[in-house]
Amino acid sequence: MNNYNDYVKHSKKITDVNMSMAVLGWDQETKMPKNGSRFRAQQLSTLAEISHELSTNKEYGNLLNNLNSDDSLNSDQRRNISLSLKAFNKSKKYKSEFIIEESKLVSNAFQKWRLAKEKNDFSIFESSLTKLVDLRIKECEILGYENHPYDALLNQYEPGLTTNDVDKIFSNVKEFLVPFIKRISKSNKINDSFYYQKYSHNKQWDFGIELLKKMEYNFDSGRQDLSAHPFSTHFSPEDTRVTTRVDEDNLSEMIWSCIHEGGHALYEQGILSENYGLPLGETISLGIHESQSRLWENNVGRSLEFWKYNYESLKSIFPNQLSDVTVDDFYKAANNVKPSLIRTNADELTYHLHVLIRYEIEKALIEGKIMVKDLPEIWNLKYNEYLGVEVPSDALGVLQDIHWSHGNFGYFPTYTIGSFYAAQFFNQAKIENPNLLKEIEDGNNKNLLNWLRKNIHNNGKRLDADKLCEKISGEKLNFKYFKEYVIEKYSKIYSL
């Protein structure tokens, strides 16, 4: 390996292996028969090992270091090299033993978590989770950090984001959202009971597909399937898939999970194929990814304009269930703010309190200030404090999320960051296209998608998240856009 082309070739090889893992993962979650799991885990672990070998190849590292000081490269090439070198240096920090230990711990923890949730017994999961937390504490030291060990974990998902940043963000959340939600809870209740009638699986499914098409999701470069937990994945910009789940007793589940995952998938479909295998062919961060799903799910998909266009179609599919429901009723119910137990079912305001609770717990765990064995108690106290709800069981409490069982710490804050980016981006899109809401009302999402393509998707990792935000909106992430969006929208809905 001695030139830029050799770098491209090797980088594509790593990507091919990673994308193959994604195919195996997709299959595992959507199609794999029950008994397939044992050898699938082994196959995924082997591919992960190969990917790590390729990513830490010495010759590749030398090439990256040489190219990093090669002035003949253009700016895109330099960006690719710089990011690949960063990834190489990070991969090098991990010894194979760590990767193997992690893979074993996660595999075990996942099984224990599932059982614990099923049996509603946190103690089954406790020892595995303790080991995972210890591993992450060790990992913070391996990766290094400037101010706070949790920074190292945040950086895995949101490069550049610090614990200090997240603290500031959540102090805004607390300062504004907590009293705002209290005001809402004192005003008139919204009736959303019509969601919880019988809605046939197949009709819901067809409507979900229709929604994805309306969003300009390209089914020639993707597909939708069912899975226990909705997710999106991609194997190239030309094969970017979504999954959903359908609850016949709850219409909202399918609708907003379709739109949410569709938003993720549109980001991946907007990556330029010519950059496949290179950093410029990758999305920026989980926070920016979440900004795309949340923008579609909330700013678009929970707007009155969106439903002014789409509600008639939904009503024609379910005429009996929705006979007495106006589009305004439907819109309000889609934005019903109500403190609840489960994060994934939360409205777009209380959602961030769910994230806040997880963030505070993760930080304290990594700091060593709390113990895993005390988590159920801590969890329940915080749910009472921030959301005013009593947690009736660990299954509906501390065991509800899959993340910790997968060893993902530092992930949750990106959900909140993403929503705030979404508000800032959507605000900017409206400024640049004053007709935007009218277009959405007319069922035309093309200009919005083109705006996202041009400003975000097509650029891949050309800019870091904060630089991208500045370029698009003239300033760094600013909570005020989310705050303004919330005040405007919910003041009307709740006549505050």
Give the distance, in angstroms, between the CA of residue 158 and the centroid of all CA atoms in the same chain. 11
Contact call for residue 8 and a second copy (CB under 8 A): no
Q: Which of 46, 62, 65, 344 binds a second copy (CB under 8 A)?
A: 46
CB 54 within 8 A of CB 62: no
Q: How far apart are CA 109 and CA 5, in angstroms?
A: 41
Torsion angle, alpha carbons of 279, 284, 286, 288, to 10: -160
Q: What angle do CA 143, 144, 147 make, to 5 degrees?
A: 140
Q: Which residues contact 445 (CB under 8 A, 6 or more apart)?
A: 214, 215, 216, 300, 439
Q: Given the complex with a second copy, which of 24 and 105 has the nearer CB atom?
A: 24
**Residue 38 touching a second copy (CB under 8 A):** yes
17 lines the binding site for a second copy (CB under 8 A): yes
State yes or no: residue 444 binds a second copy (CB under 8 A): no
Answer yes or no whether residue 13 interacts with a second copy by CB under 8 A.
yes
Query: How do beta strands 232-236 and 224-226 pair?
Result: unpaired
> Under the criterion CB under 8 A, does residue 1 sit at the interface with a second copy?
no
- Please enumerate in sequence order all residues whose Cβ is within 8 A of that of 56, keeping only pairs 6 or more positions apart, or say none: 88, 91, 92, 94
When asked if residue 223 is in the footprint of a second copy (CB under 8 A), the reply is: yes
Residue 151 binds a second copy, judged by CB under 8 A? no
Q: Is 33 in the site for a second copy (CB under 8 A)?
A: yes
Using CB under 8 A, pick the residue from 1, 8, 50, 87 that binds a second copy. 50
Question: Residue 213, interface with a second copy (CB under 8 A)?
Answer: no
Interaction of residue 32 with a second copy, rule CB under 8 A: yes
CA-based torsion, 388, 394, 398, 400: positive or negative? negative
Binding-site member from 235, 267, 421, 426 for a second copy (CB under 8 A):
235
Interacting residue with a second copy among 39, 71, 186, 319 (CB under 8 A) = 39
Nearer to a second copy, 21 or 152 (CB): 21
Q: At what angle do helices 4-30 and 58-67 cross, to 10 degrees?
A: 120
Distance in Å, CB of 168 to a second copy, minimum: 41
- Per DSSP (E only), the strands in 262-420 are none
40 is an interface residue for a second copy by CB under 8 A: yes
Catalytic residues: 261
Identify residues 260-319 at the interface with a second copy (CB under 8 A).
273, 276
- Phi and psi, residue 247, nearest 5°: -110, 115
- Choices 25-33, 73-81, 355-363, 477-485 (CB under 8 A): range interacting with a second copy: 25-33
**Residue placing its CB nearer to a second copy in the complex, 239 or 394:** 239
CB of 215 to a second copy, least distance (A): 16
Distance CA 274, CA 468 (A): 21
Cα–Cα distance, 460 to 476 (Å, whole number) = 19
CA distance 430 to 434: 5
> Would you state the structure tokens that stand for residue 95, as one six-digit string?
């010894």
Paired tokens of 464? 């870091």
241 or 483: whose CB is closer to a second copy?
241
Cβ-based nearer residue to a second copy, 42 or 316: 42
Residues engaged in binding a second copy (CB under 8 A): 12-13, 16-17, 19-20, 23-24, 26-27, 31-36, 38-40, 42-43, 46-47, 49-50, 218-223, 235-236, 238-239, 241, 273, 276
